[in-house]
């Protein structure tokens, strides 16, 4: 077998493995779950809490040269923008929802800006799919009665 054939075959096998892994990981939550559980599953699967948390856990690659500085800056920006752990806990427990945080989440769902590409490259399956964004919007619309204005 020629070297070029081996390279092409190897690349095709790697591409197939990548596609199969991505498809198996990037699944929206089951429709049989209650909406609030679907929303918390989306937040978990997308990695929202990893960065938007007052005590973020740095990924192993945050210490790599060239990448580490950007990752640390992005995580600092994330927590300075919005802290989501308390919102996640409120959703999971059926508690009151901070309207300003909910508004920000709905905005990024509409714009498709979270999670950023630099995050999804290293964390396969974390991209929010169209159906997942719809689930979050549906849940937010159905639960406006839970909303409260967060007091600082």
Q: How far apart are CA 35 and CA 137, in angstroms?
A: 10
Q: Which helix (H) or strand (E) holds 74?
A: helix 68-81
In-domain check, residue 44: yes
In-domain check, residue 73: yes
Per-residue pLDDT of 110-139, as tens digits, reads: 898 888 888 888 777 788 888 999 999 888
Q: How far apart are CA 73 and CA 76, in angstroms?
A: 5
In-domain check, residue 3: no
Q: Is 58's pLDDT higher than 80?
A: yes
- Of 120, 40, 30, the closest CA to residue 85 belongs to 40
CA dihedral 104, 125, 112, 102 (to 10 degrees): -20
Q: Which helix (H) or strand (E) holds 46?
A: helix 35-46
Q: 75 is in which domain, residue-wise?
A: 29-148
Determine which of 17-26, 78-87, 97-106, 118-127 has the lowest per-residue pLDDT on average.
17-26
Give me the chain's average pLDDT, please.
83
Contact assessment for residue 90 and residue 102, using Cβ atoms and an 8 Å cutoff: no
Q: How far apart are CA 139 and CA 131, in angstroms?
A: 12
Spell out the SS3 assignment of 96-107.
CEEHHHHHHHHH
In-domain check, residue 75: yes
In percent, how much of the chain has pLDDT > 70? 88
In-domain check, residue 104: yes
In percent, how much of the chain has pLDDT > 90? 14
Q: Is 152's pLDDT higher than 60?
A: no
- Model-level pTM? 0.74
Tokens of 2: 């020629």
In-domain check, residue 7: no
The total domain count for the chain is 1
Give the pLDDT of residue 22. 61
Could you write out the DSSP letters of every residue in 2-44? -HHHHHHHHHHHHHHHHHHHHHHH--PPPTTS-HHHHHHHHHH
In-domain check, residue 16: no
In-domain check, residue 89: yes
Give the pLDDT of residue 150. 57
């Amino acid at each position: 077998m020629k070297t070029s054939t081996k390279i092409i075959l190897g690349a095709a096998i790697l591409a197939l493995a990548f596609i199969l892994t991505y498809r198996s990981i990037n699944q929206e939550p089951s429709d049989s779950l209650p909406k609030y559980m679907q929303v918390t599953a989306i937040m978990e699967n997308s990695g929202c809490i990893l960065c938007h948390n007052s005590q973020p856990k740095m990924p192993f690659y945050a210490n790599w040269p060239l990448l580490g500085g950007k990752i640390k800056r992005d995580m600092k920006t994330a927590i300075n923008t919005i802290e989501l752990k308390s919102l996640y806990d409120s959703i999971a427990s059926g508690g009151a929802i901070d309207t300003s945080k909910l508004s920000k989440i709905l905005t990024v769902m509409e714009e498709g800006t979270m999670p950023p590409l630099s995050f999804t490259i290293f964390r396969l399956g974390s991209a929010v799919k169209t159906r997942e964004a719809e689930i979050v919007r549906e849940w937010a619309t159905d639960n406006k009665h839970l909303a409260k204005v967060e007091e600082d």
